[in-house]
Structure formats: structure tokens, C-alpha cells
Chains A and B, each alone.
Chain A
Amino acid sequence: MNRTALLIASLVFAEVWALSSAALCNETPFVAAFDRFAPHNDIELAVGGRLLLSELSCTACHATKVARLQPKKGPRLEGAGQRLQGDWVRQFLHSPQKTKPGTTMPDVLAGLGEEEKQPAIAALAAFLASQHEPYPVVKANGLVPVPFEFWDVGDLEQGKQLYHQVGCVACHEPANDYETAEAAPTPIDTLLEQLDPEEIEEMGLGSAVRPVKSVPHGDLPAKYSLKSLTFFLLDPASIRPSGRMPGLRLGPMEAAHIAAYLLRDQQRVEEEKPKTVDQSLREEGKRLFSELGCASCHTAGGIEAGGGARPLAKLKIDDQQSCFAATTKGRPHYSLDEIQTKAILAAMAELPAGKTRDDHFQVKFWMMQLNCFGCHEREGLGGVGRNRKAYFETVRHVDLGDEGRIPPPLTGVGQKLTADSLKKVLNGSDQVRPHLLARMPRFSATSVWQLPEAFAKVDRAEAPPEQKVPPPPNGFVAAGQRLLDTGCVECHPMRGESLPGVVGIDLETVTSRVEFGWFHDFLLNPAELKSRTRMPTFFPNGVSQQPDILDGSTDQQIAAIWHYLREIKKHPLPEKIVKARSQDFELVPTEQPILLRTFMHEAGTHALAVGFAEKVHFAFDTENPRLAVAWRGRFLDAQGTWFVRSTPPAVPLGKELIELPKGPALAVLAEKKQAWPSFDAEQDYRFEGYRLDPEGVPTMLYRVGDYQVQDRTTPNNDGGLTRRLTIVAPEKKDATGKLWLRANVGKSLQQVNENSTINEKHLTVSVAGGVNSVGQLRTIEGSTESLFEVEVDNETTIEVQYQW
């Protein structure tokens, strides 16, 4: 570096320093749960101390066998060279607390004089600058858009939205100018507004009301590039395995948007590329990294953690040379405030006594370490801070109360959720609350693997004995369906379907997520298990309000609901939902006919279904022009055809469905004995489309050989169909054959009268006009056909009636 550069660098250095100092209010490490609970005696001081022993990573050097006191440790530094800006690294090493207020990293150079510090910093920074690892390749596919160099094209407005909505502000500071939609205050909020602080503390409500401080970001623009911050947000655990910063399941562009927002004040910085640095300086840095014990908390350059310091159990409480009491050369220094110091001392005082803490404590301790309490309340502790609640919003601002916007309380969760379901919630694969804008973060398995079982163990120990799932009562499907229809459907979707405007937890998966006992008790008395829930009880005082279902037995009814939900995939949905769904997608012809081109089992992949207000409908096969199927009652549901990606075939909704004779209705036969041709034969059956008349009725247009056919079918007065076939003869008729109509086909076809036959499916087909002679029956290979010779000079019309 030449002199000018040095001068500029030091100026910048001084400037930033001044700025960050001004912004500082304290210079002690910030541990969210400690800060929130310990000073107010929400937790015992010694418990807070234990939290610090782990969160400040004291135990990274002062080893302990106590499992829960294992150190948080710091970020991986393998990629520090490209992830972090060199100037920031140097400043941070010089004064960690000033550079990143609240950092849990101690000042490892505290014992050095300024003239010793500078070369050490230069060496450590050189070593860290040499730490490069490639960024992971972000996989793209049809569901994951990954634009070219996506980290550079984030949009700060979208980033601002996401930052304030998805959950970042549960721990970090919201912006002053971010506007939240007005959330109606809950009655308790209103009450609290009116009380003064002492009254609140006296009522034991302090923790619910106190503002919760933010985990400071530090000077992000000085630290990161857009790229390194984007990649960090995409997968925090890859950099910070401790899981204290969980991933919010961001897509690549979402991460880029948030990075753009967080670095909005940054002048474009270039990412540091591997530089040829002084080899000896780097080696010196590497040596210091090892010697100063950095490797106890950080991985970099394959350096193994050193032997560490005196084990935790052997430390003296009154040691005047401790890491927080004194600044000693070669030792890290923590600047702790009074309460932090007291807490650590209290915790250490407990150690020799071997004071054991129970599982109950263990769960709470884990939740403090991971700051689950930032979002979740459990047994009166924690939950979204009152000053942060406004940022927790419901999708589209539907009013669902706090349940619809605040992450759920976890009191008794081990009794409620199955361990498997809890696991899925923690690893981010089960998202059951689509109405919350805040996202349940994804925690790395290493940070939370013990939690699900611990919750279960603790919560079930205090609960009444497990309730066995009762057998399904007789008629449980119909009963469950009806029971859910009274009340449940007003707030819960099922199988992704719901009444209009309903958002909430889909009940499709509830039986695989929650324990039966909890489900049972919750239905009986929701508010007892979940205070302030909006879920009403449908069994006041344990009594069913539906005495006509399953003899009014509460237990039987709850069992029926459970078993119905368990199998809801294969049963019809509750009536009201079915009805709501059909309003969106069921085609109900009123005046004019409704047409739908679709796939149908009965009419093939070229089906054209036509529905009439008279509630008689048919489908025409336009591939091989024929009337394929007819039915009465309801027509069709169009959702599959209109909007479902897998394009399921449309299913007639009505009843009395009749499949009409396969094969063509008209054919030219060379001689009377010739077998009736199929569509595969050489004769040309060419569909040419259709015309709609002023009534909206389609007339199908097709050719049979050289004959042009217009085929119009409508309901008749007897609940059947009338088909008018208008046939236009070619100018030059084929001399080799005559045109025939095959009206009906059956294994046992019977003549009703001279123009009418009935087959074994009770299909009666009658023919009038346009035909030469009465119908003739003939039987070929076990199949009897009713044939009419068609007389066409120029044009003729045949009327065919179908009754079934």
C-alpha cells in the first residue's frame, strides 16, 4: 500500500469509528433472552448466567461436561476472505463492541497496547483475507427462479416489505418509516395501556408489556457485499452453525431483496478477490489465530482448536484476572455489565454444588438459547414483544385476531403435537399456518434435534395419561361430515377447499399432527388449552349441541370427527364446502346451454360436453364424431379442465348416465350385409367444428364420406334427447354404396315398434323422417343393430329420439 492509500484508509477508518461510537449506547454483549428476562427476574440470575456461559462461548475455552452449557461458538470463517470486507475485519478485530455493538465476540487483543495491536490485526486480517471458498451453486428449476447474478438485482422496496413481514423483526430492529396495517388492539392491550409500569410489574405482567430490545445488526454495509449477505440470508446455518440466526426459508430473489434493503446505503462495494498478500504476514496471522484461541470458536484454514484454558469447573469465582475482570495479554476480554457479571458468578457458584436442573428447565434453556421466545410464549415467558406485535400480520389482513398473526404459544406443545410433526415444524418442512405472514424459520438439525422429544417428555409428564384413540363409531363418515359442517367450516379449510374468504389451518393434516388426547380436550374446551383463542366450544359443559348425531354422545362425536378427518382424502367434504366449491366451478346451465371441451372417460380426449337448463346433457366425441354419452341432473365441474395442471378428466355430476352406441351413426355400406364400419376404417369421418345458433345450441358439422352432416341435439319433453341429423348429399353420389343410419345397438335389441328399438341398457331409440323404410334388425357376431337406409337426394333431415 502506498502512502496516499494508507492515509485514505486511516481517514475512512477514523470516520466510521466515530460514527459507530456515536451510535453506541452500551458496549456489552447482547444475548436476547438474557437481556429480556434476567434483569427483571423473569428467570433466576444463575440461569441467566448459565445462558451467558454458553452464549458468550465461555465454555469454548473453559470446557465443561454439562451438556447444556456447550458453547454457541462463532461463525465459520472459511469464506471470510470473500464474505467480509477487509476494513471491517480490521476494525472489528480492533474493537469488537464498537464495530458491532452487542457482539458476543470478546476482544481477543484487549491486553495489547496499540503499537502491538496494529501488526496483530494486520496479520489476522491478512490470514482471514486468504480464506476463500466458493459460494454454493443455487439450483434453479421451474419452481425456483434464479436470475443471473441475482444478488445484484434485489429490489429494496420488496426487501423492506419482506424484512418487516417474514419475521426478521422478531429479533432485529424495524425501520421507523415502515407502516404496518393498523392492528386492532386486543382487550388486554387496551387494559395495559391504562396501567402504570409499577402496577404492571405488581400484576406480574412485566414481561408481556416490556419493550423487547433488538439484536443489533451492526454496520452491515461496511461488513458485507450484496452477494455475501444474500448467500448468508439464504442459508445462515452454513455460516453460523449455532442456529441462533435461523433461515427464514427465503427464495434466492427474496434473499437478494432483503440484502438490497439492508445494504441500501452502501456504495457499491467490490467483493474482495484473492490477493497476493505477504506470505509471512498471512502465516503470522494464522499463528495468531491459533495462539489467541480464535479456533476455539471459529473454523478457518483447517486450524484445530487449541488446548483451551482451565476447565469451567476449576475456575475461581473471585479470580481478579478473569476474562471479564481484567485485560490480560493473550486472553480474550469480555466487557460485561454489572448484571451480566453477577449472573455469571451466580451460575459458577452453583457449579461445584452440582445443582441439577430438570428437563423442564432444559427445554426453557434451549428456547432461550435459540430465542424461540422472540416469537413464542411458553408458560408465561416470552412471546412477540409488545413493541413488535404490529409487524406480525395476517395474509390479506383478514381479521383472525392474534391467532391469525402471532406465532402460536408453546405451552403444552409437547402434549399437543406428535414428535414427528414437531420435527417437521422445526426443519421447515411443515407449514400449517399459511395465514401468518411471519414464517416459522428453518433450524438446522444440529441445533434443535433434541427439542421435539424434550417437549414431549416435559409436557407429557405433567399431563393426564395419554388418551387412546377410540374406534371409529358406526356411520362416522356421515357424522363427521355433518359435525364439521356446523361451525368448523366457517374458519377452517379442508383439503385446500374452503368457504369463501376463509383462511386458517387446513384440517386435512390435523390428525397426523396432533395427539388425540389434545384434540379431544381442545374440542371440549378450547380456551382451557389456549387462552384467548377464537375457537369456540361446540360442547358447552361437555354436552353436544347435536343430539341427533350418534345419540348426542360427545365422545362418539369427537371420535367421528377424528376418524373422518383422518380419512378425509377419500371421503366427500362437508356439504357447505362442496357447495361453495361448486359455486366457483360447477357449470349450471340456466338459459342457454353451456359447453365445455375437455377430457372425459366416456367421450375421450376430444370431448365436447353440452349441458342444458332442462338438466339433460350429453358429450360429443369430436375425434370420431359421435354422440358418446348422455346424463340427467347436474352437469359438470370445470375446475379440472380450467385450472388443474394435471388435467383430470371431467366427470358427469348427474345421474342416469347412458353410454350411447360406439362407432359411427352413419355409414356408407357397399352392400347390406357389410359389417358396420368403425372409425378406423377407410371411410372418412371428418369433424369440421360446430355452429352456435341464437339459442346457443351447437350444431356439429362433420363429413361421412362425401356427405355433409349437421348434427343438432337438444333435450326433449320426456327427459331424453332429440337429435336432428341434416344430411347433404354430394353432387356426385358414390355409386358403390348407400347411406345407412345405425340407430341402436345391443346384445339383445328389441323392436318396440317399427321405428323404435330398446337395448339391454334400456336405451330406446326412435327414428322419424328422412329414412327409407322401417328399421331393420340384423345380428352380426352377437351384436344386434337397428339400421335404416337413408334417402338423400339433395338434403334430408332425420329425427332421432333417445330415451333411457
Chain B
Amino acid sequence: MVARKTLIVVLLLWANVSLAASPAEEGKYYRLVTVATSQAKTDSRSKNWKPSPEGLALEVSGLAVLDDHRVAVAIRKGEVWILDGVYDDPPKNVTYQLFAKALHEPLGLLKDGDSLYTVQRTELTRLRDSNGDGTADEYLTVAKGWGVTGHYHEYAYGPKLDKNGDFWVTLNIGLGLKGDELKRTLKNPALGYRQARWRGWGIKITRDGKITPVCAGMRSPCGLAANAAGDMFYTDQQGNWVATNSLHHMRTGAFFHHAEALASMNLPGSPIQGIESVPDGLPLPEAIKRFPQLKPPAVWFPYKKMGQSATDILLDESEGRFGPFAGQLFIGEFTQASISRVFLEKVGGEYQGACFPFRSGFASAVLRMGQGTDGSLFVGLSNRGWSSLGTASYGLQRLVWTGETPFEIQEMKARSDGFELVFTQPVDAATAAEVSSYTMNSYTYSYHSTYGSDEILSKPLNIEKATVSADRKSVVLKVAGMRELYVHELRAAGVRSENGKPLLHPMAYYTLNRIP
């Protein structure tokens, strides 16, 4: 009894330790270098938004690393610029060259061969400088054909390449369409949903422009990329039908959440058929039972805790030059001006995994990322239309690993009876073996047409045992009461490294779709 009481006291103490790392602490490991940032004349939401009177409206919406001194960026007003000298530290002599203009809100940029590719609102475009004068003279339409009603929310993102060299593009759903916009929609009469062609879909495009719709149910798929295995993923943003931000594996026939995407279900080429009704208002595990096409995300990003609006996906291909997370995914975050980190594994043939906070304190909303040849991340910023933390409205920053390894949970893997945590540094065996160093909670979400979802059916989990590996780099937690299709939230506030340091980010959120 006495022991039990002590335990509770210890628990309370640890629960009180600050769990949020400040940008300053994070900066010891990942340093921010500002290439260019600026404050707009008006606030991010103003209907009369105007860029700063000086300089370029560097609202980076696409980012392609060209070589070890240049990056190309697309900006939201519709231009592509080539910036030279961006690796300089400090970057005092950056030069700007206009490469392409008159693009309709390009939201991605890819370098491939002698061309840059971008997705405009209406098409996938190849930009080429055929005469070598430094500016594009060919604006070639690789593919178009998705519906565009004229509604602002119909953003189109990409392209990104898969392992076969095909382009991938993701298409936002329209919101509250009316008037002339409706003339450009199609309707699924059985389900009653009305959207423009392929809205809310992920599509694949061959080099010769053939479009293959792959998967559906996206709301605002602002980021897409291949993981290390070459499989394609996209991020979604909280809203109607979308409980919270999420990361999904795009594969043929998968349906993710936003039901209005089913307006295109019966078009030729659709790999999804036969959905006659969509449940609205069930807990996710129950909804999946009744609606087998509905696929859970590989990772949920619990709202507020892991951001408010997920954006780009970046695979760390630096092989260690960007720190200890090679092969993992970094996820941009708009509202909180930060970057998160994702570890994925395959269980039962499907991806699932955990997300962790990584770096906050960017000057504005993180919209795009690109990895430099030295492993550093170029981070494109723009918060117009919504709002974000930070001091600027737009710009370009670079995140550089200082060479010092943070004490972090590198990987969180599911086991049949718990989780295995792999750390970036050896742990202190005493604190890491103490079960009270950890607390866990689990919850899921409602699948419904309303905006976002609370965490529901929440339940704390009992950690029965913590076993430290011989090399002290990993810990196996024996956990009772794990539930499939629930987020398993971990606080490892009590764990110390062998040097006695607490974790830089003691939180991790594992989306346990399947127990191995």
C-alpha cells in the first residue's frame, strides 16, 4: 500500500514536467537559417491582402532543390524563381532569377531532367527553357482533365514521382459550391454528392499524360511524397469528414474519408465502385466495420498536440547528414509553423506508425520542404488565407542539423503485447526500466460529416513492464489493453538518457490500426 502511494506521487510529479520543447531548445540540435522572410502589409486573413511593398512576394508553394547552390521555388502568385547562393551561411548574397510566370497558383515544383514540373489549378505543366536564356519558353500541358469549378478551395498539389517514374497529383475537394460553380460538377445520384470531376482524389499521370485515378476521399491533400520504399503517401487536413490531420498510403481503390469525393465514383477509370451508403456519425472502428472500403490513415496527427494543418511530406534521404532520422518522413505544419516527424512500419501488409514533434519556431506557416544536397531542409513559408505562428507572412528558411544528436524516441514499433521504443541515444537503465517513467492513453475519433472530431472513447493504458535492451538503445513496453484503430499516446517524461537528459520531445502518438 505504501509503495502504491509513492508510485502515485512519483507519477504526479512526472506528469507535471514540461512536455513541450521550446524552439530555443530544439535549436541546439536543428538550427534555423533565414534566407528571406517578410511581413505582409496586411494580416494573413485580410480580404485586401498585400505583400510587403519591398521585394518579392516569396510565398513559397513549391520547392525544388537544383544543386549545391541553387533552389527553384514556385510562389503562390504564379511564378517560379531560381535562387542562387541559398546555402551561404548567413545567406547574404542570394540572387533571384525569374524563370516562369503566369501560372495559376502552382502548389508544387519538381525538377526532372531538363524541366521543372508544376501543378497549376487546372493542369500538370512542364516548364522548359529551350533556348538556354535562363527563362522558360515552353509551358507544356502534360495533363489536365480534373474538374475546376472556380471555387477557391479546389487546390491541386504536386507533382511527385513514384518509383516507376509516374507523376502523382492530389486534388482538394470544393466547399459549398454554388451558382456557376455547380454547372461544372457531376453528381452521384445514389449518394447525393456533388463535386467536380476527380475532386478529392489522388491521381497518377504517365509521361504521355494518361490519367489514372487511384484513390479517393481526400479533403485537403496539401502534401504528397514517396516513402523510402517508393510507396506514395499524402497528408490530409482536419475538416468535414476528417477527424484530424492524417497521413495516408495512396493505393488503388482505397477510400480515406471525405465522402463527397464519391461524386466521381462512377466515372470511367474509377477503381472504386459499389458504395451505396456512407455511415455518418460512428466511431471510426465501427464505421470501418460497416464500410469496408474505408481505410484508416497510417498515422493520425492528434489535433493541437501534433499541429492543426498538415502540409508537405519530405523523406529524409540524407543518409545521416540531417541527423539520426534517415529514411523517416517529415511533415510540414501550417498553423503552428513547425515540422513533425513520422516513423512508419508495415503490420499485416499495411502501413501504420507513430508521429513525434520535431521542430517549431519557423517564421511562418510551413508549406513546402526540400532537402538540400548537404542534407539540410529548405522550408518554404506562407500563411496567407489562414493564420500561423511566427513573425513573417512568407519566406524561405533552412533547417540545418548542428551535428549534435537530440535525445529522442527514434522509432516506436507495435508489438503483440505492447510497443518497442528505439532511442537516438543510450538510455539511463534505471529510469527507462521504471514503468512510472511512461504513461499511455488511447482514443479514437468519430467518422462523421461534421468538422473535425474530438478524441473519443479515451482510455488510459497500464504499462506493466519496461525492459531495457542490452545496448540500452531500446525499451520494450508491455502494455495491457491495446485497441485496434485507436491512437496510442505515449508520454515518456521520466526517461533519461545515459547523460541524465530528459527527452527533447517525450510525446509520441502511435496509430494502432492493427496489433501485430
Contacts and interface: CB of A to CB of B under 8 A. Distances in A.
Contacts of B141: 622, 687-689
Interface stretch (A9-17, A84-92, A137-145, A523-531): A137-145
B387 A642 contact: no
Contacts of A152: 18-20, 22
B120 A148 contact: no
B102 A146 contact: no
A270 B150 CA distance: 53
A530 to B, nearest CB: 27
Interface stretch (A539-547, A550-558, A596-604, A733-741): A596-604
B493 to A, nearest CB: 12
B507 A623 contact: no
Contacts of A594: 102
Interface in A606-650: 606, 608, 622-623, 638, 641-647, 649
Given A145-B308, A641-B78, A150 B20 contact: yes
A288 interface: no
Interface in B98-155: 101-105, 120-123, 125-126, 130, 136-141, 144, 148-152
Contacts of A646: 47, 152
Contacts of A647: 105, 150-152
Contacts of B45: 143, 645
A521 to B, nearest CB: 31
A149 interface: yes
Interface stretch (B298-306, B400-408, B439-447): B298-306
Given A253-B389, A605-B122, A691-B138, A642 B77 contact: yes
Contacts of B6: none
A307 interface: no
B129 to A, nearest CB: 10
Main secondary structure of the interface of B (DSSP, over half): loop
B50 interface: yes
- Which among A594, A595, A597, A599 has the highest number of chain B CB atoms within 10 Å? A597
Contacts of B77: 638, 641-643
A147 B102 contact: no
Contacts, number: 155
A623 B22 contact: no
B49 A644 contact: yes
- Which among B76, B123, B139, B386 has the highest number of chain A CB atoms within 10 Å? B139
B430 interface: no
A397 interface: no
B19 A148 contact: yes
B480 interface: no
Nearest to A687: B141
B385 interface: yes
Contacts of B137: 691-693
A310 interface: no
User: Which size class do B's interface residues fall under?
Assistant: 35 or more
Interface in A231-289: 253, 268, 270-271, 273
Given A271-B16, A598-B104, A144 B387 contact: yes
Nearest to B147: A605
B18 A497 contact: no
Interface string B1-39: 000000000001100111111111000000000000000
Contacts of A687: 141, 144
A148 B104 contact: no
Interface in B282-315: 303-306, 308-309
Contacts of B48: 495-497
Contacts of A693: 137
Contact of A146 (B51, B53, B304, B507): B304
A642 B78 contact: yes
B385 A645 contact: yes
Contacts of A271: 16
Interface in A651-695: 687-693
Contacts of B104: 597-598, 641
Nearest to B15: A273
A236 to B, nearest CB: 23
Interface in A470-500: 495-497, 500
B74 to A, nearest CB: 13
Contact of A268 (B18, B126, B305): B18
B304 A643 contact: no
B42 interface: yes
Given A145-B389, A147-B389, A605-B148, A153 B49 contact: no
B139 A689 contact: yes
Nearest to B102: A595
Contacts of B125: 689
B53 A500 contact: yes
A140 B333 CA distance: 14
A147 B336 contact: yes
Contacts of B385: 645
Contacts of B101: 595
B16 A270 contact: yes
B334 to A, nearest CB: 8
Interface residues of A, number: 53
Nearest to B12: A273
A270 B78 CA distance: 50
A701 interface: yes
- Which among A149, A595, A605 has the highest number of chain B CB atoms within 10 Å? A605
A133 interface: no
Interface in A497-527: 497, 500
B122 A142 contact: no
B308 A599 contact: no
Contact of B335 (A142, A495, A641): A142
B184 interface: yes
B358 to A, nearest CB: 13
B49 A147 contact: no
A153 B13 contact: no
B194 to A, nearest CB: 16
Contacts of B308: 140-142, 145-146
B144 A496 contact: no
A590 to B, nearest CB: 15
A155 interface: yes
Contacts of A253: 389
Contact of B50 (A145, A150, A606, A643): A643
Nearest to B45: A143
B249 interface: no
Nearest to B142: A689
A145 B44 CA distance: 13
B376 interface: no
A496 B48 CA distance: 6
B13 A270 contact: yes
A210 to B, nearest CB: 37
A793 interface: no
Contact of B47 (A270, A599, A644, A649): A644
A450 to B, nearest CB: 33
A686 to B, nearest CB: 8
Nearest to A144: B387
A359 interface: no
Contacts of B46: 496
A500 B102 CA distance: 25
Contacts of B78: 596-597, 641-642
B386 A143 contact: yes
A115 to B, nearest CB: 32
27 contacts: A140-B308, A142-B309, A142-B335, A143-B386, A143-B387, A144-B387, A145-B387, A147-B336, A148-B306, A148-B357, A148-B507, A149-B19, A150-B20, A152-B20, A152-B22, A153-B23, A270-B13, A273-B16, A496-B47, A500-B53, A584-B50, A606-B122, A622-B144, A643-B51, A643-B384, A645-B385, A646-B47
> 6 nearest interchain CB pairs?
A496-B48, A595-B102, A689-B140, A597-B104, A642-B77, A142-B386
Given A595-B102, A691-B130, 20 more contacts: A142-B387, A145-B389, A146-B304, A147-B20, A148-B20, A148-B304, A148-B305, A153-B360, A155-B23, A270-B16, A496-B48, A500-B53, A596-B78, A605-B149, A622-B141, A641-B78, A645-B45, A689-B125, A690-B139, A693-B137
